[in-house]
Amino acid sequence: MIKRFRRKFIAVAVLSLSIILFASFGGIVLATQFRTDREITSVLRLLAQNKGQLNQKAARKTLGPDSNKDSLFKYRYFALSLSNKGKLKLVDNTHISTISASDISSNSASIKKAIKNTTSEGSIMINSNPYRFILVKSKGSNQTIAIFLDTTPITASYKHLFRVAIFLGISGLIFFTLILLLLSNQAIKPIVEAYEKQRRFITNAGHELKTPLAIISANTEMEEMIGKSDEWTESTKEQVERLTMLINQLISLARMSEKDELVLERVDFSDSVKRAANSFKSLIQKDGKNYNIEIEPGLFVNGEKQSLYELVNILIDNANKYCDETGQVSVNLNKGSLGRNAVLQVKNSFKDGKSINYNKFFERFYRSDESHNSQKGGFGIGLSMAQDLVRVFGGKINASYDGKNVILTVILKLRK
């Protein structure tokens, strides 16, 4: 459980940092992108208002007070005219060195198509470079002026920032993860110590409680031997037995929570299920319930033989305990649909199963009737023990209801 908690701690911490980095760098990049796009739009409209030219006075009003004659040189643009007859002509290319009349001629088809498909502003690739353009209707003529702005110099800083943000984000995340892997044991040390103290307390207290219980049991038996047997001595014996069972389960639960306590090996799951299922046959049939067993032979999993047998015992005992009178208990073990897993399903008919919260089924001391005066045996520990065992074996366990039956499903990876 400690290893699982450490992994979850690291995962949550890394995920939290990822969200923070994504939100921070993403916000900066988006803000820069928005500013860049607004700058491109502003320059294009400024060119349209000033007949394809940029001047310092107008630029300061539109682009900000930092704009001057030298800063305007970074904007590279050219102008074309398109007549109603579809004739394309280069009007001005004095502000750009990469566009010539031959370039316009070789790209005329795509330029005409882009202009015709746009009402005011659009974008196009010319000679593998991105351009944004704006259309201006010439007064008194049948021509449309298209002003093209090379966006490469403007977006260069945004793209560079984007690459830097990705690099810093990934590098920071990797560095943080490495630091966390090194220091996570120290971070969760107080929790680990508290957990270990809890385990030791349960184990020690359990053993200490067994002694007075044994004395009470011996005294009660002595009273019965000298002829003082009555309903009170019987009640005392029942409660001693009940407490002894509870203590044993608590000790078992504390010991099963850590993988290091069990030596895992290749175990015949089919044989463990068969032995456990057969041991309940007489008890279930004696209670007047139907009992169905279907076990596919030769299914081996990674586990510990006695603990695997105990796991199946817990599930069948729970199914029998909460099965309707004259109902049915079923034990089915088969391969999964992909043939990679062994799937154990223990079912019991339960007509009142709709009102149960199956998400809480594996909580310690959880009882489906939420009553301390339950007529059913047990303490609500068994399924919690089963969940711990399945986790130790590297599998999954869940509870569900199909409208008639409560279904406990265990999935363990097959081992050849």
Q: Which CATH number goes with the domain that contains 74?
A: 3.30.450
**5 lies in a domain?**
no
**250 lies in a domain?**
yes
Average pLDDT, integer, range 136-142: 71
Average pLDDT, integer, range 51-66: 75
Q: Same domain for 217 and 101?
A: no
**26 lies in a domain?**
no
Q: Same domain for 91 and 141?
A: yes
Asked whether 259 and 303 are in contact (CB, 8 A), the reply is no
**92 lies in a domain?**
yes
Q: Same domain for 80 and 202?
A: no
Q: What percent of the chain has pLDDT over 70?
A: 88
Q: Same domain for 412 and 317?
A: yes
Cα angle: 379, vertex 382, 385; to 5 degrees: 130
Q: Same domain for 82 and 135?
A: yes
Determine the Cα–Cα distance for residues 227 and 217; give it in Å rounded to an integer: 16
Q: What is the domain extent for residue 230?
A: 189-257
Decide: pTM greater than 0.75: no
Q: Same domain for 406 and 330?
A: yes
Q: Same domain for 212 and 290?
A: no
Closest CA to 410 of 285, 288, 319, 298: 319
121: left (phi over 0), alpha (psi -120 to 50) or beta: beta
Q: Same domain for 250 and 343?
A: no
Q: Same domain for 112 and 203?
A: no
- Give me the chain's average pLDDT, please: 83
**37 lies in a domain?**
no
Q: Same domain for 290 and 234?
A: no
| Res. 152: pLDDT tops 80 | yes
Which of these ranges, 199-203, 371-375, 411-415, has the smallest mean pLDDT? 371-375
Question: Helix 189-225 and helix 152-187: axis angle, to 10°?
Answer: 40
| Res. 8: pLDDT tops 50 | yes
- pLDDT score for 249: 64
316: left (phi over 0), alpha (psi -120 to 50) or beta: alpha
Q: Same domain for 350 and 403?
A: yes
Q: Same domain for 313 and 332?
A: yes
pLDDT tens-digit readout, 283-312:
888 888 999 999 999 999 998 888 888 889
